Amino acid sequence: MGPMPNLSPRYRRGASLLSMFTIAIACGRAPVGDSATPQDAPQDTSDAEPALAYEPGGMWMPSQMPAFADTFEAMGFRIAAGDLADPTRFPLGAIVSLGGCSAFFVSPEGLVITNHHCVTGALQHNSSKDRNLLHDGYLARTRSEELWAGPRARVYVTQRMEDVTEQVRGDLAEDVDPRERARAIERRVKDLVAACERGRPEIRCTVRPFFEGAEYHLVEQLEIRDVRLVYAPHAGIGVFGGEVDNWRWPRHTGDFAFLRAYVGPDGKPAEHAADNVPYRPPHHLKVAKAPLAAGDPVFVAGYPGRTYRLKTAHEVREAVEFHYPHLIESFDAQIATLEELAKQDPEVGIKVASRLRGLHNYRTNFQGMLDGLEKGGLAEAKAALEQNLAAWIAADPDRTKTYGSVLDELAALFEAREKTRMRRTAERELLGASDLLDVATTIVDAAYERAKPDAERRPSYQDRNLPNLERWLDALERTYDRRVDAAMLELFVDRARRLPPEDRPTEVLEALLGKDYEGLDAAAVRRRIAALFERTQLEDAKTRKKLFRTARPARLRRSKDPFVRIAMSLRDLREARRAEDEAFSGALDRLRPRYIAALRAHAGKEVAPDANGTLRITFGTVRGYRPAPDADVYEPFTTFRQLAAKHTGKEPFAAPDALLAAIERGTWGPYAAPELGEVPLDFLADLDITGGNSGSATLNAAGELVGLAFDGNYESIASDWLFVPEVTRSIHVDVRAILWILDAVDHGDHLLEEMGVEPSIDAKAPPKAG
């Protein structure tokens, strides 16, 4: 399971395409808020487990947790469900977002734990061909050795969540023009955000839609802007098993890392500076003293990115027929291109490492989605659920009057949109294929938007967001490579040129290659793309930053830079597409709340909104599963000796010597599980997580730290659409594994002591240097 993609101001290629297309492609549960078992889903019909005291599934808002007071008591939680209603109290006050991953404080000195794959950017930022931290890992033995994670690294601490539905949706007329409806909502959201942040530069506010826009909530967060890398284990621990084991069980990956949040000497968030000091969080988690065992109640708190359970059956069908097959094909082509370039030059390999990991992860994820929907019968199950909903509406005159033909109206809206989906998709792919074209488009848009009053600008170009765009420009210094950028642009040009004429993004192709593009052979296309890079000045960081800050439309119209000229020539097209998107969004906004109201009324109980990057809680127990009706049950824990047995010496199963030596010594100290006879490495639970939950704290019945979430099993991937409790499992690093590696392998005694853990293993191996 990967982090949510770290997008450019508008869109990125690769793993970000899911966000780029705004794919509304998933389905709900039966009835909504429940779990379901499709006809073809694996079911355990023998050796049945005792009845559960809870219903698995659900990514719950803190405000919903008091409704589960009885459930928590029945499950044996010692922390009350009501204690999880306030995001500023313990333990939720210790849970943070990294802007794509989750994390949590574990000391009063701002020490943060998250997943290893969530610090890939920090490792990449500090790596070179002579110092590859992505492979070797890193341990700072003093505060002065802690490495800046880069200009885009952030820690967000939630301080307030407030329902602002009335301020956003109130008095919006039913018959208002769809595009005006979308613009009115955008204006109201911007006003709320501006009021929240006014006079408080340390605060970052967002207004997020919940229940498909039926509700809106304002989220206020402290934005910590100086984040530093403290510790990441060797890749043979942090990514052991690689893509072979990704989304699989049994798993033997130590997917964890440490960061530290820094603030200015006055205690307020500040840009990275040598005299900054560690942030002192209001709460931090304590390591559990009682050993975790199968059957124990656990809960996860984190920031899940996106799920799609409240979408319609039509949207599911479109995902199965178009979006996922298209994305998988695109990812395969990108992976092949990038891996070939990485083989040719190790420095390129470092620059594309994060992108490649994201592509691999999302490719596996999307294939699992497709398999679950097609082969697992989940698409059919969703269609059946919607038929039941339609019948329920039709069975009562009052319900018919209230909800009417909302399902038919939504279907008609989606069907109309389908007619141009391939062309729109290809346009967006081409516009996002090149970093430099992306830069040029951002410069052009910023020039036009700056001419407007701040309140009237597109949100991405308001004053509050301009520093984010500059940080993105800065970050390109560590990831941009002409060979990569040209190859990716050539790849997407080739894909676009092979489309049927009615689907081809002709205007974009003509802007890139010329009006004679159809008659060009592959060599001529390559030469024309190469000429763009030879004549551009946007590869120079100072030039692109100066243009971004100072350029005006009149100056850009005179520019001779090829990428700027392309961006200028396509501005009318992009504005037309934006107007179409606004009209579609506004039309959806009129219908979605009525659809959601019907779903919630039909459910007759608490319903979880789809994940949207805000703080959520999911609860369940530590337990294994049976992957197929005739298969053996998977046990819920894996161990380090199993990892050693899996070691081959070749990636992705190449464990570092220090780890293998420690396993061979078998000095497990207080971290061993008595029932296993050694230290547990990873474990399973029936918790409901998705991308963005990576790095989420896993807590026991008392609210103590027992692990962190980092993945799910392959059978669970389609749970973003429909939660199937028999086979949906989350995968977690056991905190005892983290402590043992620090104690016996990498000798991070200072970090153990900072977390309140006394080092106890006198390892014979000498400490490794940072």
Q: Which residues are the active-site residues? A: 117, 255, 694
Contact, 125 vs 105, CB < 8 A?
no
Integer angstrom CA distances of residue 601 from 57, 170, 393: 19, 21, 10
Which tokens hold the place of 390? 């339609």
Mutual angle of helices 522-535 and 562-569, in 10-degree steps: 110
Burial per residue of 653-669, b for 16 or more beta-carbon CB atoms within 10 angstroms, e otherwise: bebbebbbebbeeebbb
Task: Tell me how far apart the alpha carbons of residues 80 and 62 are, in angstroms, rounded to a whole number.
Answer: 12
Amino acid at 36: A
Kindly give, in sequence order, each residue whose CB lies less than 8 Å from that of residue 739, ignoring residues fewer than 6 positions away.
287, 671, 752, 757
Centre a 10 Å sphere on the Cβ of residue 453 and count the other Cβ atoms it contains: 6
Task: Tell me how far apart the alpha carbons of residues 119 and 503 are, in angstroms, rounded to a whole number.
Answer: 39
Amino acid at 476: L
**How deeply is 499 buried, as exposed, middle or buried, from its count of CB atoms within 10 A (0-12, 13-18, 19+)?**
middle
In the block, tokens 């001529």 appear at 524
Contact, 705 vs 287, CB < 8 A?
yes
Integer angstrom CA distances of residue 543 from 361, 561, 570: 35, 11, 22
Contact, 513 vs 504, CB < 8 A?
no
Contact, 217 vs 163, CB < 8 A?
yes
Label residue 522 left, alpha or beta by phi (over 0 means left) and psi (-120 to 50 means alpha). alpha
Task: Tell me how far apart the alpha carbons of residues 636 and 731 are, in angstroms, rounded to a whole number.
Answer: 9
Burial per residue of 214-239, b for 16 or more beta-carbon CB atoms within 10 angstroms, e otherwise: bbbbbbbbbbbbbbbbbbbbbbbbbb
Closest CA to 123 of 7, 227, 202: 227
Q: Is 127 helix (H, G, I), strand (E, B) or coil?
A: coil
Neighbouring-strand partners of residue 228: 148, 260
Which tokens hold the place of 456? 């009237």
CA end-to-end distance (rounded Å), the chain = 28
120-123 contacts at long range (C-beta below 8 A, 24 or more positions apart): 120/353, 120/354, 120/357, 121/6, 121/149, 121/150, 121/152, 121/153, 121/354, 122/147, 122/149, 122/150, 122/153, 122/227, 122/229, 122/232, 122/259, 123/229, 123/232
Closest CA to 436 of 496, 495, 494, 479: 479
Task: Tell me how far apart the alpha carbons of residues 111 and 448 are, in angstroms, rounded to a whole number.
Answer: 42
Q: At CA 146, angle to CA 143 and CA 150, rounded to 5?
A: 140
Task: Tell me how far apart the alpha carbons of residues 530 and 513 are, in angstroms, rounded to a whole number.
Answer: 11
Q: How many residues does the chain have?
A: 770
What does the H/E/C string look like for 586-630? HHHHHHHHHHHHHHHHHHCCCCCCCCCCCCEEEEEECCCECCCCC
Task: Tell me how far apart the alpha carbons of residues 677 and 679 are, in angstroms, rounded to a whole number.
Answer: 7
Write the DSSP symbol of residue 3: P
